[in-house]
Amino acid sequence: MEERWTAARFLKYVNAGGFANESDKMDVFNEVRTAEILQTFLDTVEGKIICNSVINAMTLQVRNIIRLSIEGFDQNREAIKQAALQIDIAHKFLMGLVDYLATGKSHEERSKHLEELERAGLR
C-alpha cells in the first residue's frame, strides 16, 4: 500500500487546515497515523483473519441466542444476556475500527480539497 501522507503534505495540511494550536495538530497527526497503520494492517491476511473472526463470533452468538430462545427463553435468560453482551463488544470493536478509518479518510479528503483549491488559485 502506498503511503498517502508524506511529511511535506502533512505539514502543509495542518498549517493550511485551520488547526488552532499544537495540540490540535498533534491530534490530527495521531488520527491520520492511526488510520494509516490500521488500514495497512487490515490490508494484510492477518488483518482480514481478525475481522472475519470477529464477524464469525458475532454470527455464532446470534445463532446461540436463537437456539436458546427456542429452547426456552426464561430458563436461558442469563446465557442469552451473555451472548448479547459478546455481540455488543464485538460490534463496538468493529465500529471503533470504522471510526478510526473514517476520521483518517476525512483528513485525507480535506487535504485533497485544500490542494485542489490551491491549484485553482483560490487559496
Of residues 8, 13, 55, the one with CA closest to residue 31:
13
pLDDT digits (tens, 9 = 90+) for 51-96: 999 999 999 999 999 999 999 999 999 999 999 999 999 999 999 9
Q: Is the dihedral of CA 15, 16, 21, 27 positive or negative?
A: negative
Which three three-digit cell numbers place residue 112? 485533497
What's the confidence (pLDDT) of residue 117? 87
User: Domain segments of the chain: what residues?
Assistant: 7-119
Mean pLDDT in residue range 45-56 = 95
Closest CA to 96 of 42, 43, 49: 42
Closest alpha carbon to 36 in 112, 104, 118:
104
Question: Which cell goes with 28?
Answer: 490530527
* Model pLDDT, residue 1: 37
Instruction: Return mean pLDDT, the chain.
Output: 90
Q: For residue 3, what pLDDT is reported? A: 55
Three cell numbers written together for 12: 502543509
Q: What number is the average pLDDT over the span 8-32?
A: 86
Spatial CA neighbour of 36 closest among 26, 46, 48, 28:
28
Distance CA 93, CA 100 (A): 11
